[in-house]
């Protein structure tokens, strides 16, 4: 068992969990999409809520930013609670010139600059991948709703800033087919694999690193509702 320093052991956690990075986004989802939402975690203001979406009980727990934070929150959720499905909802920058702002990316797998998986004492390198049943369900919902999406391998970075230019930093990753850059998915997929949890990461493109296009601050705050609804519909169908 974990020490449960960040998610209370007695917290009312549902079998289905959404994990936005931002605690205020968790609060927004609870207040605008869940029925009978109740606060179940406010340790360090990393809010978690449990409520109902179209009759299905769902927990929304913030993960924080980066592999260490996602590693902590997803591990405690999976280790100490009966979580069966988890979907990360977040943002990403694309290194594909034809990627569109606000396009949704389904992370089929997550390459990473982190050595996080070394903590699991394996002789080699794990390929962190999405659960196929969640991925298939998400694609079906996206197609039904006419959403613009793509799927592919994403890069989970360990650092936000670098002394290298974006071109130098990502040119080799681009050649290897990486579709987007973010900071949490690999940790989620590794922890999910270790605990037998079905997981998926879906991301909204907020920046195109190749073209320099980016969403405004207000667009980032209000432009994720399509992905939120998609994630809720997907996880409630399982």
Annotated catalytic, 207? Answer: yes
Q: How many angstroms separate the CA atoms of 65 and 53, rounded?
A: 25
C-alpha to C-alpha distances, 224 to 98, 122, 143, 205, nearest whole angstrom:
20, 37, 17, 10
The token pair at 213 is 């296009």
Burial class (CB in 10 A: 0-12, 13-18, 19+), 147: middle
Q: In DSSP terms, which residues pair with 129 in a beta bridge?
A: 109
Q: Which of 27, 31, 4, 34 lies closest to 235 in space, CA to CA?
A: 34
Catalytic one among 42, 80, 207, 225?
A: 207
CA dihedral sign, ordered 176, 212, 100, 161:
positive
Q: In DSSP terms, which residues pair with 87 in a beta bridge?
A: 18, 200
Query: Is the CB of residue 158 less than 8 Å from the CB of residue 66?
Result: yes
204 φ, ψ (degrees, to nearest 5): -100, 130
Q: Which residues are catalytic?
A: 207
């Amino acid at each position: 068992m974990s020490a449960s320093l960040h998610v209370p052991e007695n917290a009312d956690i549902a079998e289905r969990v959404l994990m936005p990075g931002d605690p205020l986004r968790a609060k927004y989802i609870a207040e605008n999409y869940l029925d009978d939402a109740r606060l179940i975690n406010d340790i360090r203001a990393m809010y978690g809520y449990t409520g109902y979406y179209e009759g299905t009980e769902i927990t929304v727990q913030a993960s924080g930013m980066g592999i260490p934070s996602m590693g902590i929150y997803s591990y405690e959720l999976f280790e100490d609670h009966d979580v069966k499905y988890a979907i990360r909802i977040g943002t990403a920058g694309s290194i594909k010139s034809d990627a569109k702002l606000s396009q949704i990316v389904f992370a089929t797998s997550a390459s990473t600059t982190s050595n996080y998986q070394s903590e699991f004492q394996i002789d080699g390198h794990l390929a962190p991948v999405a659960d196929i049943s969640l991925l298939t369900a998400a694609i079906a919902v996206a197609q039904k709703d006419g959403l613009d999406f793509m799927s592919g391998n994403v890069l989970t970075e360990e650092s936000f800033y670098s002394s290298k230019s974006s071109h130098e930093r990502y040119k080799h990753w681009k050649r290897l087919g990486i579709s987007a850059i973010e900071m949490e998915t690999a940790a989620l997929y590794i922890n999910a694999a270790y605990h037998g949890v079905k997981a998926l990461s879906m991301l909204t493109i907020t920046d195109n690193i190749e073209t320099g296009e980016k969403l405004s601050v207000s667009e980032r705050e209000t432009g994720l509702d399509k992905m939120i609804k998609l994630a809720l519909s997907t996880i409630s169908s399982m």
